[in-house]
Chain A
Amino acid sequence: MSGIDPLDLQSLWLTLKLASVTTLILLCVATPLAWWLAHNRRWYKGPVAAVVALPLVLPPTVLGFYLLLLMGPQGAVGELTRALDLGTLPFTFTGLVVGSVLFSLPFAVHPIQNAFESLGRRPLEVAVTLRAGAWDRFFSVALPLAKPGFLTAIILAFAHTVGEFGVVLMLGGNIPGETRVLSVAIYSHVEAVEYGAAHLLAGGMVLFSFVVLLGLYLAGGKSWKGGR
Chain B
Amino acid sequence: MKSGMMRLLGALLFGASMQAANAGEVSAAVAANFTEPMERIVKLFQAESGHTVRVSLGSTGKFYSQIQNGAPFDVLVAADEKMPLRLEKEGLAVEGSRFVYAVGKLALWSAQPGLVDGKGAILRKGNYNKLAIGDSKLASYGTAAKEALEEFGLWNAVQGKLVTGENITQTYQFAATGNADLAFVALSQIVKDGKVTEGSYWIVPSHLYNPIRQSAVELSAAKDKAAIRAFLAFLKSEKAKAVIRSFGYELPK
A173 at the interface (CB under 8 A from B): yes
Query: Closest residue of chain B to A189, judged by CB?
Result: B137
Residue of chain A at shortest CB distance from B174: A173
A170 to B84, CA, bound (A): 28
> Does A72 lie within 8 Å of B179, measured CB to CB?
yes
Contact B61 A90 (CB under 8 A): no
CA distance A170 to B64 in the complex (A): 22
CA distance A190 to B65 in the complex (A): 8
Contact in complex: B177, A191 (CB < 8 Å): no
Q: Which residues of B lie under 8 Å from residue A91 when comparing CB positions?
A: 130, 163, 179-180
Residues of B2-57 contacting chain A, CB below 8 A: none
The contact string, 1 if C-beta is below 8 Å from chain B, for chain A 140-152, is 0000000000000
Q: Are B138 and A69 touching (Cβ within 8 A)?
A: no
A10 on the B face (CB < 8 A):
no
Least CB distance, A35 to chain B, in whole angstroms: 36
CB neighbours of A188 from chain B (8 A) = 135, 137-138
How far apart sit A14 and B62, CA to CA, in the bound complex (Å)? Answer: 25
C-alpha spacing A43/B174, complex, angstroms: 40
> For window 123-169 of chain B, which residues contact chain A by CB distance below 8 Å?
129-130, 132, 135, 137-138, 162-166
Chain A residues positioned under 8 Å from B61 (CB to CB): 191-193
Chain A interface residues toward B at CB < 8 A: 68-69, 71-74, 87-88, 90-91, 169-170, 173-175, 187-188, 190-193
Given pairs A87-B129, A90-B179, A173-B180, 20 additional interface contacts (CB within 8 A): A68-B179, A69-B177, A71-B179, A73-B178, A74-B177, A91-B163, A169-B166, A170-B170, A173-B130, A173-B165, A174-B135, A174-B163, A174-B164, A174-B165, A175-B162, A175-B163, A188-B137, A188-B138, A191-B59, A192-B61
